[in-house]
């Protein structure tokens, strides 16, 4: 078998902390997910990717794992997990685990035993002497920290590309590979369908030599998509994943199309697909952490380039690290429903596997906090501290955080118009967005203009229409406002038109045709309304929306 996925798969990402709390401790849990399985089955998705649920001190909300084979008590037990897998299966929903193997938590037994002096475990991590009182090299860190921290009182340092509580594993050591094979088998034996592999293209560091200076992540040329990384992925695939038919999606930072192709070429047997980032960087960027508004035309060009460049890839607009997509458009606040449904149309008609992030299906937006004290994300706090050090004025610092904080996408799921959006009966770990009284699953369902109903329609189409499942992608038009493309399979053709702006857009003659589906009740052939989406089948069709 060349690939381990079905082309009609639609994945839903759950950030467990923020999805549904059943015991009132303010933190989402596995029972909460089990209770919502019917909701998810009804939405039409057939796989769930769970952000980490393992034992963790939560320095980075579970991306710092202290025990890979146990469930964090706050989420439940292994028995709950097994029930989730079984109940998911009954509804045709598979479970995808998050695999975080670039680093562990510093509270993992391996790191603790390393600190206690066990040579075997010291080799699991990347330890170096300082250079005459200086750090081992000049590398940068993803979270705006120094990537080297003192290793106990040994005088050595350990490398951490993320927080100092996330020491990087030493992938030159074959014992690490064996441990990871074992972890994979542990979860595969419990029936999971695959893995989302966290920052997987940085795991293998070629050398620890100084890097060429860059404004961020100096040193990255020594660890991005190295041959060692390719080899590890191939080994895991052949020896562990393929025998189970398990699929993988890699989170791959700073990949371009050639690199993404190398990682996903079926003949090389590494990953099935990757999350690339280029289309998430189409905002006007001043410095990495100070983005202003999304530039639609740039986004269209980027999407078209990747659609044409890759045979198949993961297709996403939101996740737990990104601001809400509709909040990135300047005028989406006035057109929340339209922008969200347009995004549904776009995401379900691009070629590749769609990943819907919790809350996307009801048009959730960025947080509305007024102050840093409401923000929990470690990255945001680090950036704020760095910005303070650099003398950036307070108002600007806060604006940076508001626009880019990962907590924008992490606010609790809004289920009902009741207190805390029905997420918890206690105090939520992170404040619920103030718009929960109008933006929530229950209120949306009662509306005759339901956002979720449109997502549902699009998801169903995506899973059943052979042209949307397997058709090729052809760019038709990229304009200031309108993006048009075709999906083509044999003699069948679907044309998609998206107005990605909050202004009406006049259509050229060749783009005017009667749509079979739109996110507006009434459409005018020659003008697209703000954030209007249209799907046109060759030969026309009845209007469905």
As measured in angstroms, the least distance from the Cβ of 316 to ligand ISL is: 12
Enumerate residues 298-327 that contact ligand ISL by CB under 6 A. 320-321
The CA distance from 477 to 193, in Å, is 38
The residue to which tokens 């026309």 are assigned: 540
Question: Quick one: what does residue 21 bind among ligand ISL, Ca ion, none, with the CB cut-off 5 to 8 Å set by partner type?
Answer: Ca ion
Query: Does the annotation mark 526 as catalytic?
Result: no
Query: 107: exposed, middle or buried (C-beta count within 10 Å: 0-12, 13-18, 19+)?
Result: middle
Q: Is 58 in the site for Ca ion (CB under 5 A)?
A: no
Q: Judged by CB, which is closer to Ca ion: 423, or 455?
A: 423
Least spacing, CB of residue 426 vs Ca ion, in Å: 8
Residue 162 sits in the site that holds ligand ISL (CB under 6 A): yes
With CB under 5 A as the contact rule, the residue among 27, 202, 332, 401 that binds Ca ion is: 27
Phi, psi values for residue 326, rounded to 5°: -70, -25
Closest listed residue to residue 294, CA positions, set 242, 339, 244, 361: 339
What is the sign, positive or negative, of the torsion defined by CA atoms of 327, 388, 287, 255? Answer: negative
Candidates 64, 168, 251, 377; catalytic one: 251
Give me the catalytic one of 64, 106, 168, 198. Answer: 198
Strand partners, 536: 495
Encoded one letter per residue, x for contact with Ca ion by CB under 5 A and - for no contact, window 492-511 reads --------------------
Q: What is the DSSP string of 178-226?
A: HHHHHHHHHHHTTT--EEEETTGGGS--S--PPPPP-SS-TTGGGTTT-
The torsion angles phi and psi of 297, rounded to 5 degrees, stand at -65, -40
Q: Which does 142 bind (CB under 5 to 8 A by kind): ligand ISL, Ca ion, none?
A: ligand ISL
For the question of residue 221 being annotated catalytic, the response is no
Question: In this complex, which beta carbon is closest to ligand ISL, that of residue 358 or of residue 379?
Answer: 379
Residues near 476 by Cβ (< 8 Å), separated by ≥ 6?
Answer: 484, 485, 486, 495, 511
25 binds, among Ca ion, ligand ISL, none (CB under 5 to 8 A by kind): Ca ion
**Total binding residues toward ligand ISL, as defined by CB under 6 A:** 13
Q: How far apart are CA 277 and CA 267, in angstroms?
A: 24
Strand runs (DSSP E) across 202-351, as ranges?
247-251, 273-275, 283-287, 290-294, 314-316
Residue 100 interacts, among Ca ion, ligand ISL, none and using kind-specific CB cut-offs from 5 to 8 Å, with: ligand ISL
Closest CA to 494 of 465, 537, 457: 537
29 is a contact residue toward Ca ion (CB under 5 A): yes
By CB under 6 A, what part of segment 394-433 binds ligand ISL? 406
Residue the block writes with tokens 């149309």: 345
- Our CA dihedral for 191, 194, 195, 196, rounded to 10 degrees, sits at -130
Least Å from the CB of residue 291 to ligand ISL: 10
The binder of Ca ion chosen from 3, 7, 8, 25 (CB under 5 A): 25
- Asked whether position 291 contacts ligand ISL by CB under 6 A, the answer is no
**Residue 451 CA neighbour count, 13 Å, CB half:** 24
Pick from 68, 101, 86: which is nearest to 30 by CA?
86
Rounded to the nearest 10 degrees, what angle do helices 336-349 and 451-464 cross at?
10
Q: Which of residues 196-225 bind ligand ISL (CB under 6 A)?
A: 198-199
Of 21, 29, 58, 60, the one binding ligand ISL by CB under 6 A: 60
Chosen from Ca ion, ligand ISL, none, partner binding at 29 (C-beta under 5 to 8 Å by type): Ca ion
CA nearest neighbour of 225 among 206, 197, 198: 206
- Which of the residues 190 through 249 are near Ca ion (CB under 5 A)? none
Nearer to Ca ion, 23 or 308 (CB): 23
Nearer to ligand ISL, 49 or 520 (CB): 49
Question: What are residue 123's phi and psi, to 5 degrees?
Answer: -75, -10
Task: Extract the tokens encoding 230.
Answer: 């390719």
- Per CB under 6 A, which of residues 240..259 are in contact with ligand ISL? 251, 253
Q: CB of 56: closest distance to Ca ion in angstroms?
A: 15
Distance CA 78, CA 25 (A): 19
Q: Which does 23 bind (CB under 5 to 8 A by kind): ligand ISL, Ca ion, none?
A: Ca ion
Rounded CA gap, 8 and 464, in Å?
7
Q: Which is nearer to ligand ISL, 217 or 342 (CB)?
A: 217
Name residue, tokens 């998430």: 280
Site mask, ligand ISL, residues 134-153, x = CB under 6 A? --------x-----------
Q: Which stretch binds Ca ion (CB under 5 A): 21-29, 166-174, 218-226, 452-460?
A: 21-29
Question: Residue from 11, 48, 97, 100 that binds ligand ISL (CB under 6 A)?
Answer: 100
Distances (CA, A) of 410 to 138, 413, 419, 430: 32, 8, 18, 8
Judged by beta carbon, residue 29 or residue 58, the one nearer ligand ISL is 58
- Fill in the per-residue mask, 356 to 395: x = in contact with ligand ISL (CB under 6 A), - = not in contact: -----------------------x----------------
Closest distance to ligand ISL from the beta carbon of 320 (Å): 6
Closer of 402 and 406 to ligand ISL (Cβ): 406
Binding site for Ca ion (CB under 5 A): 21, 23, 25, 27, 29
Residues recognised as catalytic: 198, 251
Binding footprint of ligand ISL on the chain (CB under 6 A): 60, 63, 100, 142, 162, 198-199, 251, 253, 320-321, 379, 406
């Amino acid at each position: 078998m060349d690939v381990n996925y079905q082309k009609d798969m639609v994945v839903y990402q759950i950030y467990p902390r923020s999805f549904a709390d059943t015991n009132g401790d303010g933190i989402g849990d596995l029972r909460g997910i089990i209770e919502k399985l019917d909701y998810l089955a009804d939405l039409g998705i057939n796989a769930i990717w769970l952000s980490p649920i393992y034992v963790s001190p939560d320095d980075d909300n579970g991306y710092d794992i202290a025990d890979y084979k146990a469930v964090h008590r706050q989420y439940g037990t292994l028995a709950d997990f097994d029930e989730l897998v079984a109940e998911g299966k009954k509804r045709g929903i598979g479970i995808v685990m998050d695999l975080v193997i670039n680093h562990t938590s510093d509270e993992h037994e391996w790191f603790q035993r390393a600190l206690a002096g066990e040579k075997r475990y010291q080799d699991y991590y990347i330890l170096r002497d300082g250079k005459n009182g200086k750090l081992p090299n000049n590398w940068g860190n993803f979270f705006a920290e120094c990537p080297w921290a003192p290793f106990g009182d040994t005088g050595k340092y350990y490398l951490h590309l993320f927080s100092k509580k996330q020491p990087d594993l030493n992938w030159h050591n074959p014992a690490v590979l064996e441990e990871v094979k074992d972890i994979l088998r542990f979860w595969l034996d419990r029936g999971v369908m695959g893995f989302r592999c966290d920052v997987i293209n940085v795991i293998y560091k070629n050398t620890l030599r100084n890097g060429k200076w860059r404004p961020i992540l100096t040193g990255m040329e020594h660890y991005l998509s190295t041959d060692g990384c390719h080899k590890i992925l191939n080994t895991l695939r052949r020896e562990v994943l393929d025998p189970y038919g398990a699929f993988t999606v890699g989170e791959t930072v700073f990949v371009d199309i050639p690199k993404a192709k190398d990682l996903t070429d079926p003949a090389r047997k590494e990953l099935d697909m990757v999350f690339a980032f280029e289309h998430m960087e189409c905002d006007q960027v001043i410095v990495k952490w100070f983005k202003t508004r999304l530039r639609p035309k740039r986004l269209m060009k980027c999407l078209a380039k990747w659609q044409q460049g890759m045979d198949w890839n993961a297709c996403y607009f939101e996740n737990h690290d990104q601001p809400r997509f509709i909040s990135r458009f300047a005028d989406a606040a006035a057109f929340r429903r339209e922008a969200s449904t347009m995004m549904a149309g776009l995401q379900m008609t691009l070629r590749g596997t769609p990943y819907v992030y919790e809350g996307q299906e009801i048009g959730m937006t960025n947080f509305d906090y007024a102050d840093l004290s409401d923000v929990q994300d470690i990255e945001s706090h680090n950036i704020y501290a760095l910005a303070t050090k650099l003398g950036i004025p307070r108002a600007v610092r806060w604006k940076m955080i508001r626009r880019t904080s990962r907590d924008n996408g992490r606010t609790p799921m809004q289920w009902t118009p009741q207190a805390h959006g029905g997420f918890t009966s206690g105090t939520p770990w992170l404040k619920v967005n103030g718009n929960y009284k109008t933006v929530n699953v229950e209120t949306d369902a009662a509306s005759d203009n339901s956002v979720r109903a449109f997502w549902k329609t699009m998801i169903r189409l995506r899973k059943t229409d052979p042209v949307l499942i397997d058709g090729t992608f052809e760019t038709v038009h990229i304009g200031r406002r309108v993006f048009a493309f075709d999906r083509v399979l044999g003699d069948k053709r679907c044309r998609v038109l998206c107005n990605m702006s909050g202004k009406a857009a006049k259509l050229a003659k060749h783009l005017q045709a009667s749509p079979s589906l739109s996110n507006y009740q009434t459409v005018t052939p020659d003008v697209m309304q703000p954030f209007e989406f249209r799907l046109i089948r060759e030969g026309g069709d009845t209007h469905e929306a």
